[in-house]
Each structure stands twice: as C-alpha cells, then as structure tokens.
Structure 1
Amino acid sequence: MSRLPSLYISHGSPMTALNPGLVGERLAALAARLPRPRAIVMASAHWLTHQPVVGGHAQPPTIHDFGGFPQALFDLQYPAPGDPALAQEIAQRLTAAGLPTAIDPQRGLDHGAWVPLRFLYPQAEIPVVPLAIQPLLGPAHQFALGRALAPLREQGVLLIGSGSITHNLHDWRSYQDGKEAPYVRPFIEWVEQRLQADDSAAVLDYRRQAPHAAQAHPSDEHLQPLHVAMGAAGGDALGAQRIDAGIDAGFLAMDIYRFDGADAQQRAA
C-alpha cells in the first residue's frame, strides 16, 4: 500500500461549502492525485480540548457549529462513516507516546472537517475519525500528536490538519472591497520558506519568529493543525509542497500543504 502524505488545509469560512472558489478546485485536484485512503483522521481547529481526545462514533453526525448563515448551509450533510477500531488504535498510539488520550463516542464532524472533505471526497464514503487539538498545550504538543500518528500513513490513513494559514476575524469586513490585509503575504511567504527549508523549529516558534504573527493569528487554534500535519510527515524532512488557493475576503489565506516527508525526493524524481 502506498504511503499517503499528511495534509494541512485552510478551510475558510463555512460559506466555502456553498461558494468553494479556488479552494474547491485545488482540493478536488489534490484528491485525484492521492492514493485512495482507507480512512481519514481529521484534526480540526474547531474541536478544542484540554487533553487529547479522539472521536469514536460509528456514524459521526454533521455538526453545524455556526450561526447567521443561509439555511442552505444548515441543510448540508456529510454522512461519512466513522471507524471506532481506528479511534481505539489512535488512542493507544498517543497514550503510548506519553499523550494519554480519551475517546468521545458521540463526537461528530464540525465544519472544519466536513467543509473541506466535501471537495476532497464528495461521496462521503471514506471513514473519518475526528481528532481534537489542545491549543493551550502549544505547537510542540500538536507536533507530537502528528509524529505519534505518522506510522498510520503507511496503513492507508490520510492525516489532515484543518485550520487557516491566516485567521484574524477582527478583520472581517475590513477588506471586503478588494483590498488585502498587509500582513497576509509576508506571513504566508515566511511560512512557506521555513517549511521548504525543513525548519520545523522555526514554524513551531512562529509567534516569536514570523512577521506579523500576532496579526495573522490573534489566537493559535487555526494554525496548530499545521503543526499536527508537520509532525505526521514522520521525520526531519517535511517534503512540504504549498498549494496556493488564493486569499478570501482579503485576510483569510487559503493555502493548502501536503507533506510527503522523505518520500518527496522520490516524487520529484
């Protein structure tokens, strides 16, 4: 079985589900290039806990964790099955790595999970296991989560972190007239440079080192799924490839990353 990459996806506004724009095209094209996974593990910026938790629901419900949007958005469902056996394995792997993990048998799929999955795998036939992140424990903790789960890539499991490469909702409406927030491009360019240089330490320390970090991310939760995906690359070589999906509303950069780890050189050959 081919080893899958890990992914980081900027999922954008919930309205991306109805108006996917460039990100929908990019995700569909990416899925077409990947070996078909037997299951997906999704670490979403919208499931936040104090300690590691994995979802063990056999049929995760679609969670509409937002308000004030059109009814058409609330009508959408993503009826993918879960995989309780895989959830058990994830909990065991994380616990063995010193990250004691609980199983939530009721957890469904929030919009950070089902919105991008609609475009990756629209038939919703691949089992999905949600994984919480713990922002208060910091980027290195999320990296350790991903590293502990990296061996699952060899078993046909697609590991995804879903967040947003920039996420400052204070700027909502400020750049609706076609202007672009001045911090967005310097920040995303710095991230790309550090990832392509395999400089995980710098990206984990982004709040001190990256330009405009506090403007790009007033809080950490939407970038930390990137650290999960980086850890899931499985080694010092990240094999990072940026997929540009544009900038939404002038302040939400929609970058997608795939991490092939040491396999990246083979892909390039």
Structure 2
Amino acid sequence: MIPSYFFAHGAPSIVLEQNAYTDFLKHFAETIPKPKAIVLFSAHWEQSIQTISAVETYSTIYDFSGFQNELYQLTYPAKGEHSISEQIVSLFAKHGIQSALDEERGLDHGAWAVLKLIYPDADIPVVALSANRNLTNEQQYQIGKALSELREQDVLIIGSGGTVHNLRRLNWQGESNDEWAESFDNWLQNKLEAWDVNALFNYRELAPYAGEAVPTSEHFIPLLLAMGVGDKNRQARLIHRSYQFGNLSLSCWQFN
C-alpha cells in the first residue's frame, strides 16, 4: 500500500532548478512502487464544491507571471483516469461530501511542477482535486480520510502546497533560513509526528508565528488532506525540509 504524501511546490521556477530539493524529487519515484494513477490536491485550484477532474488529456496552465521564458514552454500532457474520478465521486458521496466533475481544466503549476520532477514522462494517469479554504481543518482531514481505500489500489495520493508560504515575507537574497519559519515548521513536525490532530486543527491559535507562516490557508490545506488519507495507521514522517528565499518552506511529509 502506497503512503500518501505532502509535497511543497515552492516557486514555479523550481522545475528548472538544480538543488537539494529538486534532487530529492527527481529520485523520489525510486522509493515507491510505480502507481497505477496519481490523485493530487493542489493549493492552486480552489472551488466552493469539492471538484474532481475528469479530462482525457491535461493542458498545462501557466498560472504565474514574470518567470523565465523557458518555463512557459514546458508542458505536462498527462492522461486522466475517468474510472478513478467516478470512484472518488462515490467515495465522497458515501462520506456525505458533495462533489462535482470537471472535464475541462488543465493542471496548474502546483500540480505539474511537482509531477514533472517526479514523473517527467507524464506516463501515469492523474486525477486533480480542488481545495476549499472555507471548510474547517477537521473537514479537510475528513476529505482526505474518505479517499484512504484508494491506496489499496496502488493509487498515489498527493497534497501539493507549502507549510510556510508568505510571499510578502520572502527574502530574495536570503542565504540563511528565517528563525520564525523554522519555529513554525518545528512545531508542526512535533504535532504531525505525534498525530495530534486537535493541535493541528487549531494551529492558528497554538502554533508559533502561525500568522506569518500561513497568512492564507490554501497552501496549508493540502497537508491536512494528505494527512487524513493516512488516518488508519497514523504514522507521519518528515522526508525532506529545506527553504527558498529565507522562509518559503520546502517541507515534504509521508503518511503511512
């Protein structure tokens, strides 16, 4: 059974970079069996109803500006997998979660930038799922939990976002990590490893520097979604941590 994962997607340009994090992502596929499909929640697809992609072949969305021209030439033409999209609709319905299919939207950079580094050939079907910042943290967790049985079918479930993601606080020349970002990530590591869901659901009130680390919740939500998938065994493991621009966290988590 493949664990679920949370991956930080960092800046869109990460797909062109060579550093410790991109090396980690490029070798990640060697650490797990090849999945028959990938189900991915992206921080960059927000909908008021839980939405599930059901496309034949994905277009590539360039939902950013001001980056290298080369970035806009990259594509990730993964196939969809309609049978899994329909299965997800059924799983959500069984757990009282309203959902809808989307047959048109392509993959945003929160999805394709990470996938291009892990599976560059785009040869594994993908089902993209939206996020909704208006739900409670417990509801996010329950959405992930509803999908847990997909892991028994060799489906890789990913949440793509960032634990510390405050673009206004980035230090573009920063060569050392900001203490406030590390403090938040350290608190988060302690609570994830202890599977302290009560603390995690109330991280805004309890975690140090939560307001600075998570000024808006859309990038944090995929962590709770991926964690919920692992509710049965409740084992969390930090598999990578580094930072860009002083405080943009590139933390990655595995949930067994």
Q: Is TM-score (shorter-chain normalized) higher than 0.5?
A: yes
Counterpart Cα distance in 2 of 1:239 and 1:20: 30
Q: TM-score, normalised by structure 1?
A: 0.92
Is the CA contact 1:195–1:238 (under 8 Å) kept in the aligned structure 2?
Answer: no
Is the CA contact 1:22–1:245 (under 8 Å) kept in the aligned structure 2?
Answer: no
Identify which range, 3-12 or 91-100, moves more after superposition. 91-100
Is the CA contact 1:44–1:225 (under 8 Å) kept in the aligned structure 2?
Answer: yes
Residue correspondences, number: 256
Q: What residue in structure 2 maps to residue 168 of structure 1?
A: 166
Instruction: Give the secondary structure class of the aligned counterpart of 1:140.
Output: helix
Q: Does 1:243 align with 2:246?
A: no
Q: What residue in structure 1 maps to residue 144 of structure 2?
A: 146
Counterpart Cα distance in 1 of 2:241 and 2:194: 21
Is the CA contact 1:49–1:134 (under 8 Å) kept in the aligned structure 2?
Answer: yes
Sequence identity percentage: 37
For structure 2, the residue ranges without an aligned partner over 5 or more in a row are: none
Instruction: Give the secondary structure class of the aligned counterpart of 2:254.
Output: strand
Q: Does 1:199 align with 2:196?
A: yes
Q: What residue in structure 2 maps to residue 265 of structure 1?
A: none
Counterpart Cα distance in 2 of 1:4 and 1:183: 33
Q: TM-score, normalised by structure 2?
A: 0.97
Is the CA contact 1:142–1:227 (under 8 Å) kept in the aligned structure 2?
Answer: yes
Q: What residue in structure 1 maps to residue 68 of structure 2?
A: 70
Q: What residue in structure 2 maps to residue 209 of structure 1?
A: 206
* 1:166-185 CA-partner distances (Å, limit 9, x unpaired): 0001113x352424323111
Counterpart Cα distance in 1 of 2:19 and 2:116: 13
4+ runs of 1 displaced by more than 3 Å?
none
Offset of residue 188 of structure 1: 0.6
Is the CA contact 1:175–1:251 (under 8 Å) kept in the aligned structure 2?
Answer: no
Q: CA RMSD in A?
A: 1.2
* 1:178-208 CA-partner distances (Å, limit 9, x unpaired): 2432311111111111111111221121111
Of 19, 38, 41, the match for 2:17 = 19
Instruction: Give the secondary structure class of the aligned counterpart of 1:46.
Output: strand
Q: What residue in structure 1 maps to residue 55 of structure 2?
A: 57
Instruction: Give the secondary structure class of the aligned counterpart of 1:36.
Output: coil
Instruction: Give the secondary structure class of the aligned counterpart of 1:67.
Output: coil
Is the CA contact 1:56–1:83 (under 8 Å) kept in the aligned structure 2?
Answer: yes
Instruction: Give the secondary structure class of the aligned counterpart of 1:43.
Output: strand
Q: Does 1:253 align with 2:253?
A: no
